[in-house]
Amino acid sequence: MPTFSRYSAAILIALTAMTSGACSSQHPTYAPDGRRSYVINCSGFMNSFSSCLVKAGRACGPHGYDTLKNTNDDDRTMFIACKLPEAQAAVTKPQ
């Protein structure tokens, strides 16, 4: 009695294909002004540009982020810099 049928194999292959098409990545880096930043890629047919926005919000937390560069809708890559907390921004702002 086989435990792994053709039907199960087909479902496993379909799920693998769907998850491989839903790639997104987030790579930490630094912005030209020294702030912590990220390159966020949300390519794949299961993602939209809004999934990049969600990842950006999660990466920088409650202070938010500035979008430094967006690519086209086909590539769906963002370069963002996390905003500094108000107290820290006042210290680092030139007078």
Domains and CATH numbers, the chain: 23-92 (3.30.200)
Per-residue pLDDT of the chain (95 residues; tens, 9 = 90+): 455 677 666 665 655 544 444 456 788 899 999 999 999 988 877 777 888 889 999 999 999 999 998 877 677 888 999 998 875 655 555 55
| Single pTM value for the model | 0.62
The answer to whether the beta carbons of residues 29 and 37 sit under 8 Å apart is: yes
- Quote the pLDDT of residue 66: 94
